[in-house]
Structure 1
Amino acid sequence: MSQRPEGYRIPLFRIRADEEVRRAIEKVLGSGRYVLGEETEAFEREFASYIGVRRAVATSSGTSALFLILKALGIGPGDEVVVPAFTFIASVTPVLMVGARPRFVDVDYETMTLDPEAVRRAVGERTKAIIAVHLFGHPADMSPILEVAEERGIYVIEDAAEAHGAKYRGRRVGSIGHAAFFSFYPTKNVTVLGDGGMVATNDEELAERVALLRHHGQVARDDYRMLGYNMKMSEIHAAIGRVELRRLDGRNEHRRRLARIYGEEIGDLLEIPVEKPWAYHVYHIYQVKLEERDRLRGYLAERGIETGVYYSRPVNVHGAIPPEYRGLRFPVAEELTRRVLALPMSHNHTEEEIAEVCSEIKRFFGVRG
């Protein structure tokens, strides 16, 4: 079974569920246990081992994972959290949900992740945490961010929702900060074919608080010790996640092969994604930059090739963000919103499809061959 947007012969993402996934689902259906059972416990252990942390706690989504981290750390009204101005809105909304104030900063043009110098300037007396987003599969530059955090005694939370398996200086993202969160949305490098998330940390106490908060603060049957929420993962989603996790490294290598084809074929025509010497990029999204973004997007659509724009505006200007932030200016983020274009990329795309996309882009630029 696969999912393909109608009208596109080469979709932006391609999502499939095969027989191994179906068997994992059937096993859960036959077990009679659908929440907080053996599959969830196994997925948490296996994910923690893969990332290289002591604990992982499965949640209902990446958004809920960040919300639970913030609550477990005691971050709330009067506190500030440093966030990038160029990211998905769910990197920011949980900060508002706990009553804290986002402190928006600009990003590095090449990596599209936090600008460490902008972070240093933004940290103040009320800053309690920095959310370092590993955007599109490329890690943020963690060393200078950690340096600022250590100097000021604040938390670093890794947003690894788009970076499953990515590495920073040889370490898997999600194992570097005080805590991290992942998303398993259908398009991600690891998916549960629905919504799902994971908190990763070496802090046992933090993990325990997150585990309590995700399930109403329950410590035992009919024993609730804190005001909690209903943000747990289902057994079916955990079972799918276990299958997908086993395949992650091979699938990331496939994405990297597709990225190399793009680089070799169209690297002279537009700005292709960078991979810094200290990074291992997993290309959740293959994002290029060019002035003629909208023209190229229309040209490819006419030829049955789907593209995307991530993102069309800085996050601080969305209507969901309080008006006081909308007048802030972030030159790099604003420039990126005018130039970025996501090309087809997934572990289910073929090398032949990517070569065809490249051929059409060459024709757009008037290049033969």
Structure 2
Amino acid sequence: MIPMVNLKAQYAEIKKEVEQGLAQTIEQCTFILGPNVQAFEQEAADYLGVKHAIGCASGTDALHLALRAAGIGEGDEVITSAFTFIATAEAIKYVGANPVFVDIDAKTFNITPETIEAAISEKTKAIMPVHLFGQPVDLMAIKALCEQYGLKLIEDCAQSFGARVNGQQTGAVGDAAGYSFFPSKNLGAFGDGGLVVTQSDEIADMLRMLRNHGSKERYYHDVIGYNSRLDEMQAVVLRAKLKRIDQYNQARRKAAHLYSELMADLPLETPYEDGIGEHVYHQYTLLSDNRDRIIEALQAEQIGCAVYYPVPLHRQNVFKADYAGVSLPVTEKVAARCFSLPICPMLSEENIHDIVNVIKTVA
């Protein structure tokens, strides 16, 4: 059996360090916004090259809080992708704004400066690009659009921790950015967790209030906030993994490149690196007209595989009535042909050869 992500093998590598940290936390009874959360926030800020890093309860909350702290609200429009997890659009709706879905590039699966600019209207207040599957968007060009039109740039970095563009980390360029620490992410916790980063003192002050019931000082509340704090025990896990994140991402890149080399002559499309940023392969996602047959063959051999994402957001039941007239042909074509193979730092070359050999029997 080859799982999509081998969390057990990863845990074995950090077991001693994590268990010592968890035991110390329990002994000290410092469970809420304790020393590990504070230390992780500083370590993450240093690694990402940002002034402020604020932990929260999930990646969805990270995007929600980032939008609200940046002043996005009722009736505003936020341009984003329909080819992503629903949390991206949920966060926009949470603040009363409306997602404006634009089409993606057929190779990178990301929204582009051209599709974004064509959708800008008087109601547009922000752009929320998604660095999908670990492939950075054309961030500098999108930032230039934001400056030209006076828009906020809120990066969805849920899948791109450690990815760089022009030497900068994704998340360090926009007005704010949200990260997810769902267990399968490049930097994953042992449960839910999230992080919002910003270079702005004003946005950071608001974020710290919003995540903690709108309070700067205990029992004194300035705004209606939320209970969205990063758990102290998750911070222990994240601190251990953060030390190894470049090693993890390099292992993902090495595995991805071997996959692509071994499948170069097959009638399918392997992931594309545009050279604008460094892809960190949160997912290794291919395109094939024989997707269903390949998935069936992999499952028969107990090899993990998944489709991210089978139904674009503008065609989801929750949104389709409002976007009935929206046509995103590239997004829809990619969603009909995409599938993802196992990818994680612990994936061996033998595993990759075995997976590719199964695909070759079908493709």
TM class, shorter-chain normalised? Answer: over 0.9
- Check the 8 A contact 1:318/1:326 in 2, yes or no: no
Work out which of the residue numbers 88, 93, 114 in structure 1 matches 2:90.
Answer: 93
State the match for 2:29 in structure 1.
Answer: 32
Q: Percent identity?
A: 39
Say yes or no: does 1:45 pair with 2:42. Answer: yes
On the 8 A contact 2:287/2:339 being kept in 1, the answer is yes
The Cα offsets for residues 183-234 of structure 1, whole Å up to 9 and x where unpaired, read as 0001001011100000011001101100100000111122111111101111
The alignment partner of 1:188 has SS state of: coil
Question: Distance between the aligned counterparts of 2:245 and 2:33, measured in 1?
Answer: 24
Paired position in structure 1 for 2:7: 15
Where has structure 1 moved over 4 Å in runs of 4 or more?
none
Task: Give the CA deviation at 1:322.
Answer: 6.2
Per the normalisation by structure 1, the TM-score is 0.94
Paired position in structure 1 for 2:310: 312
2:278 match: 280
Does the 8 Å CA contact 2:50/2:172 hold for their aligned counterparts? yes
Q: How big is the alpha-carbon RMSD for the aligned residues of Structure 1 and Structure 2?
A: 1.1
SS where residue 271 of structure 1 aligns?
A: coil
SS for the counterpart of 2:322 is: helix
Query: Given that residues 57 and 193 in structure 2 are in contact (C-alpha distance below 8 angstroms), is that contact kept between their aligned partners in structure 1?
Result: yes
Counterpart of 2:180? 183
TM-score between the two structures when normalised by the length of structure 2: 0.96
In the alignment, the residues of structure 1 paired with residue 84 and residue 204 of structure 2 have an alpha-carbon distance, to the nearest angstrom, of: 26
Distance in structure 2 (CA, Å) of the matches to 1:116 and 1:165:
23
Counterpart Cα distance in 2 of 1:336 and 1:66? 25
Unaligned runs of 5+ in 1: 1-8
Aligned residues: 357
Which residue of the partner structure matches residue 265 of structure 1? 262
User: Offset at 1:180?
Assistant: 0.7
> Which secondary structure state, in structure 2, belongs to the residue aligned with residue 133 of structure 1?
coil
Does the 8 Å CA contact 2:210/2:223 hold for their aligned counterparts? yes
Gaps of at least 5 residues in structure 2 are none
User: 1:249: which partner in 2?
Assistant: 246
Q: List aligned pairs for 1:1-369, cutoff 5 A.
A: 9-16=1-8, 17=11, 18-269=15-266, 270-321=268-319, 323-365=321-363
**Alpha-carbon distance in structure 2 between the residues aligned to 1:74 and 1:286:** 35
The 8 Å contact of residues 62 and 181 in structure 1, kept in 2 or not, is answered as: yes
Retained in 2: the 8 A contact 1:105–1:118? yes
CA distance in 2 between counterparts of 1:316 and 1:285 reads: 22
Tell me the distance in 1 between the aligned counterparts of 2:325 and 2:199.
Answer: 38
Contact residue 293 and residue 362 of structure 2 kept, 8 A: no
Partner of 1:4 in structure 2?
Answer: none
Distance 1:76 1:178, change over 3 A: same
Contact 1:184 1:191 in 2 (8 A): yes
Partner SS state of residue 301, structure 1: helix
Secondary structure of residue in 2 paired with 1:325: coil
The offset of 1:24, in angstroms, is 1.9
Query: What is the rounded CA distance, in whole Å, between the counterparts of 2:90 and 2:84 in structure 1?
Result: 11
**Deviation per CA, 1:102-156, whole angstroms, max 9, x where unpaired?**
1110111110011221100111111110001000010011122112111110011
What is the identity, as a one-letter code, of the residue corresponding to 1:321?
A: F
Question: Does the CA contact (< 8 Å) of 2:70 and 2:176 recur in 1?
Answer: no
Whole-angstrom CA distance in 1 between matches of 2:339 and 2:301: 16
CA distance in 2, matches of 1:216, 1:119: 35
CA apart distance, 1:319: 2.1
Q: Contact 1:317–1:327 at 8 Å: present in 2 too?
A: no
